[in-house]
Amino acid sequence: MRILTAEQLSEADKISIKKQQISSEELMEKAASLVFKEIHNRLQTAQIPIKIFCGIGNNGGDGLVVARLLMEQAYSVEVFIVNYSDKRSEDFLSNFQKLKNLDRVRPVLINSETDFPEIKSGDFIIDAIFGIGLNRPAEGWVAKLIDRLNESGAFKLSIDMPSGLFSDKPTDPDSSIIHADFTLSFQTPKMSFFLPESMDYVGDFQILDIGLDKEYLAKLKPQAVLVSKGIAQSLYKPRRKNSHKGDYGHLLISGGSYGKMGSVNLTATAALRTGCGLCTLYIPRCGYEILQTNLPEAMVLTGDDQDFLSGYPEDFEPDGLCFGMGAGTSDKAKTALEDMLKRTKKPVLVDADGLNILSENKELLKLLPENSVLTPHPGELKRLIGQWTDDFEKLEKVKKFSQKYKIIVLVKGAYTFIVNREEVYINNSGNPGMATAGSGDVLSGVIASLMVQGYSPLSAAVLGVYQHGVSGDIAASEKGYEAIMASDIAANMGIAFLRLTESDEA
C-alpha cells in the first residue's frame, strides 16, 4: 500500500470526481457510508450514546453523513457542529441541510467553551472536526474541546485523521490532538500513522478504499510504501528442486566477545533458519567451544585474541558478510571491521557494535561497499546521523545519509523503516513482544542470509524485516508477548516462510 500526502489525496479526489463523473457530494456519501458500515457492523444497533463532533469542512461533512445514516438505523445520536469558522464547505452545507430535514435531529452549534456538552466515559465519540485539511494547530476553544474529549475517557473514533494531527508533517506535541482509540482513514494510510512521535494518537487504524482513480494514484510518487504480504510474496524466490547448498550462499558472521557469544549464536541460528547454504562464524577464541557445541551446523574460525574480535580470516571468500553483534568497540574490533571492509567488494550487513564503531570512526563509512545494509535501533541511529528535531527530519536525514554512502539503512522501531536513498518502505508485521534482547541479532541473521542467497540487498532488507515480524507474530500467538525470546523468532522462521507461500484463500 502506498502512503500519499494530504495534497496528493485532495488532488486525486478532484481528478477522480472528474474521471468518474460523480459529484464531490457523491464521493463524500460513498466515503462516509463506508465509515457507517464499519460502525454498524461493530455496534449492531446497540443503544449507546453516540456523540458526533463535526467541523465545518469536508471532514465535518463526512461526520454529518455518518450521523444521518446512523439515525436511519435508529441509533441514539447527538450531533455537535464545531463552528470554528464561517467558511463552511459546500458539501458540509448540503449534508447539514439533509440532516436538518430529518425531523428528529437538532444539531447543536458549539461557538465557545460555554457550549461544550457533558461527555461521559460511556459515550461513543465520533471525531469529524478536522481531517487532512488541517493547516495549523487547533487553537482557543477548539483546542480546549479536543482536550475535553481526550479527558472524558469515552471511546473515540476518528474519521480520516485524529483531529489536530497533521498527516505528512510534524505536529507540535504540545498542541491539542485527538487521542483516538480507532481511526478509519480514507484510501491510503498517512505517514504520521507510522512515526513513533505520532502513532499513539491514531490508535488502531483501518483503511477504507473509497475508490479514488487507481490509474492516477499509481502515477504518484508515494512518501513511502507499506510492505504487505503481496509485496513480500513478489520478492520471494522459491527454492529449486535441482539445487545444492552451494546455490544458497556462504555467509560469514563476524562478532562476539567474552560474555556476548549468545548474540552470534542468535544471528547464525536465524541465518541458517532463513536458508543460507553455509554459515561460518568468525569470533574470538573464547567462543570456540560455545558455538561448536551449540550450533553444529555452523563452522567456526577464530582470531588470535582470546576475548575480542581481531583481524580477518586469510584466504576466505564468503558470498556475504555480517558484522557487529556482541563485538564490542575495542581497537581490535575496529581493526577487524576495517580489515573486513578493505577485503570485500560485496555488500555487507553491519549491526550493533559494528554501527558504534562506524559512529566513532566515520572515515570507515566510505569503505562500505555499495548497497551495504545498516540496521540501527534509534540510539545507534542517533550516534550515526546526529540528533533530529522530529521524526520527519529524522527520515530526511536518513535518506541523505543513505544517498551519501549509497547504502540501505533501517530505522528499527514498532514500524521498521527501510530507507534506500529516496525510497522508503515501512514494515507492518511484528508485535511489541519482539522488543526483547537479541531480536535485532536475529533480524541481522535473517537479512544477511537472504543477501547471500541471491536477493538484492534491498529485497533482502524488505523481505527480511517482514518475515522477522511474521515469525514474531507466530511466536506471540503461541506464547504471548511477554514470553517471546529472540530464539523463538528464529525458531518460527520456517513457519513464517510456509505462511508466505500459502495463498490467502488457503
Residue of 36, 75, 80, 84 that binds ligand NPW (CB under 6 A): 84
d(CA 55, CA 135): 14
Q: Does 31 bind ligand NPW (CB under 6 A)?
A: yes
Residue (208 or 410) nearer to ligand NPW, CB: 208
| Span from 6-14, 232-240, 245-253, 286-294 in contact with ligand NPW (CB under 6 A) | 6-14
Question: Which among 113-121, 152-160, 369-377, 402-410 is the span making contact with K ion, rule CB under 5 A?
Answer: 152-160
Question: Which one of ligand NPW, K ion, none interacts with residue 158, CB within 5 to 8 A by kind?
Answer: K ion
Q: How many CB atoms lie within 10 A of CB 349?
A: 32
Q: Which of residues 395-454 bind ligand NPW (CB under 6 A)?
A: none
CA-based radius of gyration for the chain: 26
Q: What does the alpha-carbon distance between residue 177 and residue 321 come to, in Å, rounded to a whole number?
A: 46
Pull the grid cell for residue 435.
522488543
Task: Give the binding range for ligand NPW (CB under 6 A) out of 25-33, 245-253, 445-453, 463-471.
Answer: 25-33
Q: What is the largest CA-CA distance in the chain?
A: 87
Q: Is 186 in the site for ligand NPW (CB under 6 A)?
A: yes
Task: Please check if 163 is assigned to a binding site.
Answer: yes
For 239, other C-beta atoms within 10 Å of its C-beta total 10
Q: Is 59 a known ligand-binding residue? A: yes
Q: What are phi and psi of 171, to 5 degrees?
A: -110, 135
Stretch that binds K ion, among 84-92, 151-159, 216-224, 468-476 (CB under 5 A): 151-159
210 binds ligand NPW (CB under 6 A): yes
Q: Min. distance of Cβ 9 from K ion in angstroms?
A: 14
Rule CB under 5 A: say whether 13 interacts with K ion: no
Q: Is 135 annotated as a binding residue?
A: yes
Positive/negative CA dihedral, 365, 368, 371, 374:
negative
Q: Does 158 bind ligand NPW (CB under 6 A)?
A: no
CB of 106 to ligand NPW, least distance (A): 22
**Crossing angle (nearest 10°) for helices 457-479 and 493-501:** 110
- Nine-digit cell string for 145: 474541546
Partner interacting with residue 166 (select from ligand NPW, K ion, none; CB below 5-8 Å by kind): none
Q: Which is nearer to K ion, 158 or 444 (CB)?
A: 158
> Could you tell me the CA-to-CA distances from 332 to 31, 315, 337, 381 in Å, in that order?
61, 20, 9, 23
Contact with ligand NPW (CB under 6 A): which of 34, 53, 62, 443?
62
Question: Is 472 labeled as ligand-binding?
Answer: no
Q: Does 127 bind K ion (CB under 5 A)?
A: yes
Query: How near is the Cβ of 162 to K ion at its closest, in Å?
Result: 6
Does residue 87 belong to the site contacting ligand NPW (CB under 6 A)? yes
d(CA 363, CA 406): 15
488 part of the interface to K ion, by CB under 5 A:
no
Q: Cα 88 to the chain's mean position, in Å? A: 35
Q: Cα torsion for 226, 228, 233, 234, to the nearest 10°?
A: -40
Helix (H) or strand (E) holding 374: strand 373-374
| Phi, psi (degrees; rounded to nearest 5) at 187 | 65, -55
What's the CA gap between 7 and 168, in Å, rounded?
A: 9
Which part of the chain contacts ligand NPW (CB under 6 A), choosing from 27-35, 308-316, 338-346, 397-405?
27-35
- What is the distance between the alpha carbons of residues 423 and 285, in angstroms, rounded to a whole number? 41
107-135 burial string, b = 16+ CB within 10 Å, else e?
Answer: beebeeeeeeeebeeebbbbbbbbbbbbe
Site stretch for ligand NPW (CB under 6 A), options 130-138, 228-236, 329-337, 377-385 = 130-138
- Look-up of cell digits 547464525: 268
Q: Residue 161 or 348: which CB sits closer to ligand NPW? A: 161
Instruction: Name beta bridge partners: 3.
Output: 224
Total chain residues near ligand NPW (CB under 6 A): 33
Cβ closest to K ion, residue 131 vs residue 347: 131
List interacting residues with K ion (CB under 5 A).
127, 158-159, 163
Which residues contribute to the annotated binding site? 58-62, 127, 131-137, 160, 163, 326, 377, 412-416, 440-441
Which residues contribute to the annotated binding site for AMP? 412-416, 440
List interacting residues with ligand NPW (CB under 6 A).
9-10, 13, 27-28, 31, 55, 57-60, 62, 84-85, 87, 89, 130-138, 142, 159-161, 186-187, 210, 212
